[in-house]
């Protein structure tokens, strides 16, 4: 395909007016994969023409987000490159220059009409069931020389691109042949009356200047593409190939929005997700490597990816499925790597460093935590009982601290006192003998112990949890629960 024709240069162009959104992340990922597959260049451009709404911390969020996901870029924000800063706000002179050039060539004109006049033209189009911009064309008396004078005298006007009155047809890599009729393409604004460029102008000029070979972006921008192609043609630029990626839907089949939960990458970054899992999951939003297999690594994805294989139908973004995949990735981690993560997570959770002894105890139990963890943020709370005084989960306490609980705890205390080698097997032997002697079921006999030592009824397995605590601490906690139960039975 055309990837052989031009060196592959692709871009993602977020507007820093909000946190990086999963839709943008998916588009970035597909561009990145395409660039890496073809040995091309991946660029991050910052579309900050809306100066009032662009904020620095959103730019930082973009940079941190892509770094976290491992989408390295070859040109653009922070890394620079041959095209300046890659911030649109630094290129207003260039957009002005191009606008002048288009006016000069008769492809654009100043429009001094008032809001009311334009609304009148739109109303007329509506009444005649024509496209809204049908009558907003170059006024008959438009004269570039006279217009320039009026601007110099301080009058305000927008600049519109002058539609050539022909349809635009192109071959979209995802959607196939796409056609826009001339009537449906209005004389769109390229420069606002304050001199700022619109998205159509700035994006197209940048795509030309940066020699972008392929534009892969969300399908919501499909109707912008004929406009960009007309500008490109008028400027004698080379058209990139276009690939419009399917929209993202929520699991309920509706367009992805706030209603489906948090959709910023940041929330996943901070919510205990692994970048590898997010990478893998996002690659499946509109593409698949193999219908039989959902889990594959970065290298496999790069080797197999092609924009031409992206599906047309909407893709479903399901946070629960992503959490499931994150669990799969957590279980694929090496034991050592997971133990390191656990130390980090526990230290962050406790807001202090762990002693060597504490680290050792955590490492012993980490493999059991690993089997039960879906999100990295679950680790801290799950192992907190190993290091800090516990507080009881009220529901868990009410559920198990009744009936035979006091008897089970008393018997467990006696049995555990006698354990000489404080390891899971001897602990298990002692407690099973206790069950037998007290004629208690495992549930009735063990659940109170679990709550007594961890505060919760969902800790890692009991014998290992006990062994991960110093023996005296385990015994003190059981004694404390017995006391509490005697004072205030549930």
Q: Are 419 and 471 in contact (CB under 8 A)?
A: yes
Euclidean distance between CA atoms 435 and 442, whole angstroms: 7
CB closer to ligand GLU, 52 vs 140: 52
With CB under 6 A as the contact rule, the residue among 221, 350, 375, 406 that binds ligand GLU is 221
> Residues touching ligand GLU: how many (CB under 6 A)?
7
Selecting among 130, 258, 374, 399, the annotated active-site residue is 258
Does 258 participate in catalysis according to the annotation? Answer: yes
Does residue 25 belong to the site contacting ligand GLU (CB under 6 A)?
Answer: no
| Residue 209: partners with Cβ closer than 8 Å, 6 or more residues away | 83, 94
Q: Are 226 and 253 in contact (CB under 8 A)?
A: no
CB closer to ligand GLU, 14 vs 275: 14
Of the ranges 11-19, 93-101, 342-350, 448-456, which one interacts with ligand GLU (CB under 6 A)? 11-19
CB closer to ligand GLU, 203 vs 373: 203
DSSP output for 114-161: -HHHHHHHHHHHHHTT--TTTT-S--TT--HHHHHHHHHTT---EEEE
CB closer to ligand GLU, 31 vs 326: 31
Does residue 222 belong to the site contacting ligand GLU (CB under 6 A)?
Answer: no
User: Which residue's Cβ has the minimum distance to ligand GLU?
Assistant: 47
Smallest gap, in angstroms, from Cβ of residue 15 to ligand GLU?
4
Query: Which residue in 268, 270, 267 sits closest to 281, CA to CA?
Result: 268
Does residue 14 belong to the site contacting ligand GLU (CB under 6 A)?
Answer: yes
CB closer to ligand GLU, 83 vs 137: 83
Q: What angle do CA 341, 342, 347 make, to 5 degrees?
A: 100
Question: Binding pattern to ligand GLU, positions 27-66, x when CB under 6 A?
Answer: --------------------x-------------------
With CB under 6 A as the contact rule, the residue among 13, 379, 416, 485 that binds ligand GLU is 13
Q: Which residues bind ligand GLU (CB under 6 A)?
A: 13-15, 47, 203, 217, 221
Q: Which residues belong to the active site? A: 258
């Amino acid at each position: 395909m055309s990837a052989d024709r031009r060196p592959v240069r692709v871009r993602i162009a977020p507007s820093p007016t909000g946190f990086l959104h999963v839709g943008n992340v998916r588009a970035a990922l597909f561009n990145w994969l395409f660039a890496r597959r073809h040995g091309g260049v991946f660029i991050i451009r910052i579309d900050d023409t809306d100066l009032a709404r662009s904020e620095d911390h959103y730019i930082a969020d973009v940079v941190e987000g892509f770094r976290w996901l491992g989408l390295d870029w070859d040109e653009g924000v922070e890394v620079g490159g041959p095209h300046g800063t890659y911030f649109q706000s630094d290129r207003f002179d260039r957009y002005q220059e191009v606008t002048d050039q288009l006016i000069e060539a008769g492809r654009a004109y100043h429009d001094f009409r008032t809001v009311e006049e334009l609304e009148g033209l739109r109303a007329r189009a509506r009444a005649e069931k024509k496209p809204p911009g049908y009558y907003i064309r170059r006024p008959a008396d438009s004269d570039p020389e006279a217009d320039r004078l009026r601007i110099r005298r301080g009058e305000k006007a927008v600049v519109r691109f002058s539609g050539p009155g022909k349809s635009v047809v192109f071959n979209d890599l995802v959607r196939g042949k796409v056609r826009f009729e001339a009537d449906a393409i209005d004389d769109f604004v390229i420069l606002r009356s304050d001199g700022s460029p619109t998205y159509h102008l700035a994006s197209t000029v940048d795509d030309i200047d940066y020699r972008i070979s392929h534009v892969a972006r969300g399908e919501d921008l499909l109707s912008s593409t004929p406009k960009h192609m007309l500008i490109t043609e008028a400027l004698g630029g080379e058209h990139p190939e276009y690939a419009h990626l399917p929209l993202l839907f929520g699991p309920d089949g509706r367009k992805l929005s706030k209603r489906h939960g948090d959709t910023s990458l940041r929330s996943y970054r901070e919510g205990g997700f692994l970048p590898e899992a997010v990478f893998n999951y996002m690659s499946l939003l509109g593409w698949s490597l193999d219908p039989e297999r959902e889990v594959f690594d970065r290298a496999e994805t790069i080797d197999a990816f092609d924009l031409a294989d992206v599906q047309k139908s909407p893709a479903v973004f399901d946070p629960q499925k992503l959490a499931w995949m994150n669990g799969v990735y957590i279980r694929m981690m090496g034991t050592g790597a997971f133990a390191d993560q656990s130390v980090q997570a526990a230290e962050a959770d406790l807001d202090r460093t762990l002693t060597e002894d504490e680290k050792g105890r955590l490492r012993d139990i980490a493999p059991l935590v690993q089997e039960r963890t879906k999100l990295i943020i679950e680790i801290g709370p799950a192992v907190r009982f190993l290091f800090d005084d516990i507080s009881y989960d009220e529901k868990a306490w009410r559920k198990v601290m009744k009936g035979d609980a006091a008897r089970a705890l008393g018997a467990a205390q006696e049995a555990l006192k006698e354990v000489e080698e404080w390891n899971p097997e001897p602990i298990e032997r002692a407690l099973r003998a206790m069950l037998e002697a007290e004629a208690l079921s495992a549930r009735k006999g063990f659940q109170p112990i679990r709550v007594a030592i961890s505060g919760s009824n969902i800790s890692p397995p009991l014998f290992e949890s006990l062994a991960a605590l110093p023996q005296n601490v385990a015994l003190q906690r059981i004694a404390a629960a017995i006391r509490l139960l005697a004072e205030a039975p549930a």
